[in-house]
Amino acid sequence: MFIGGNWKLNGDNESLTKLTQALVKGSEKLFDTRVVVFPPAVYLSHIIDTLKNSPIKVGAQNQCEQLEGAFTGEVSAHMLQDIGCDYVLLGHSERRHVYGETNEMINKKMRLAFEKTLLPVLCVGETLQQREAGNAQKVVLQQLQIAFDGLSNDEIANTVIAYEPVWAIGTGEVATPAQAQEMHASIREFLNALISDKARDVDIIYGGSVKPDNAAEIFSQADVDGGLIGGASLKADDFIAICKAAD
């Protein structure tokens, strides 16, 4: 199982240090779950340092689709690798819908992440309008198809896929376990066709209003291998409870 905590644009030095210290304590009894937190970029080095002797890993929330040059305000895959980041979140719906990231940009980012040995957590998901029009599956599989373009089978197998229906992110409206399972099964089938046996090992996680009281039921679905947690990852007790539900 894989649990990610996406802190988004929240917290400051003091509150995020406290949160991290509480996570270190709370995660002592976790056995089989990969736990990764995604702090805001300016705090990455500090959080990596704070988690040095803990099993919790650190990822960035985004990365530039270029490696270096005149790209004011951006952070490159090389820089993330350089400071000891293990993971990078790519294609989050807020990047796609607020900042206009396209599937093609996300594909470039995926290639650079692997080039710099970062493990991508690739987010995909449909809007409510796309779901209501009956296009949810088509949209999600197309996002995957383009994001994976030019990657090797091993790279695809090492990607964590986060299915996050846009209508469930930060809204309190969670996909039903059956809706999540249905999409995750389609993603698994798509991976089977692409990388055959290796598809079994890919972590396909669900994101969108996961809380301590709904986590266990979602994670119990056959093709749900964990979760990407936004709001509830900012409270240590809630996040640890969700990690335990996965464990």
Active site residues: 92, 164
Amino acid making up residue 87: Y
Residue 162 φ then ψ, to 5°: -105, 110
Cα(190)–Cα(17) distance, integer angstroms:
40
CB of 207 to ligand PGA, least distance (A): 4
By beta-carbon proximity to ligand PGA, the closer residue of 191 and 218 is 218
By beta-carbon proximity to ligand PGA, the closer residue of 164 and 195 is 164
CB of 7 to ligand PGA, least distance (A): 10
Contact 49, 83 (CB under 8 A): no
Contact 77, 118 (CB under 8 A): yes
CA distances from 27 to 59, 199, 215 (A): 17, 28, 17
Cα(116)–Cα(110) distance, integer angstroms:
10
By beta-carbon proximity to ligand PGA, the closer residue of 50 and 209 is 209
By beta-carbon proximity to ligand PGA, the closer residue of 26 and 227 is 227
- Residue closest to ligand PGA, measured at CB: 230
Cα(210)–Cα(51) distance, integer angstroms:
24
By beta-carbon proximity to ligand PGA, the closer residue of 151 and 218 is 218
Contact 118, 58 (CB under 8 A): no
Amino acid making up residue 75: V
Residues of the shown chain interacting with ligand PGA in the complex, contacts defined by CB under 6 A: 6, 164, 169-170, 207-210, 228-232
CB of 228 to ligand PGA, least distance (A): 4
| DSSP calls for 39-70 | --GGGHHHHHHHTTTSS-EEEES---SSSSSS
Closest CA to 86 of 95, 77, 96, 94: 77
CB of 241 to ligand PGA, least distance (A): 14
CB of 233 to ligand PGA, least distance (A): 7
